[in-house]
Amino acid sequence: MTDALSTLPADDILSQALAWKNVGREVALATVISTWGSAPRPAGSQLAIDETGQMVGSVSGGCVEGAVIQEALEIIGSGIPKTLEFGISNDEAWEVGLACGGKINVFVEKLD
């Protein structure tokens, strides 16, 4: 899902996260901490998620982003940060119709 908000500069994503916090919402922040091979977003890309599932920014796309959002909602509840790893081998990439494999690591934390 690509929209104007998913391509905001990092400071705008953090500003939105802070705005949500300032009105009393619980917020998690996901940050791409490393990539290898083919990755849709570079290290440093961020996604802010509030307790209702609203989001701004992007760390990937498709099912990876959906999984990050689901984990973020759980981390909002538990307060325990987590590093997520998503990857696909070159062989698996061809099976699912992708041109090449890749891996991304995403750190997800609750903002206090």
Q: Tell me the mean pLDDT in the region 8-16.
A: 79
Tally of CB atoms within 10 A around 72: 28
pLDDT band at 49 (very low <50, low <70, confident <90, very high): very high
pLDDT of residue 83: 98
pLDDT of residue 101: 65
**How many structural domains compose the chain?**
1
For residue 52, give its domain range: 4-111
What residues contact 29, with CB distance under 8 A and at least 6 apart?
14, 17, 46, 47, 48, 49, 108, 109, 111
Taking the CA of residue 29 as centre, how many other CA atoms within 13 Å lie in the half-sphere pointing to its CB? 18
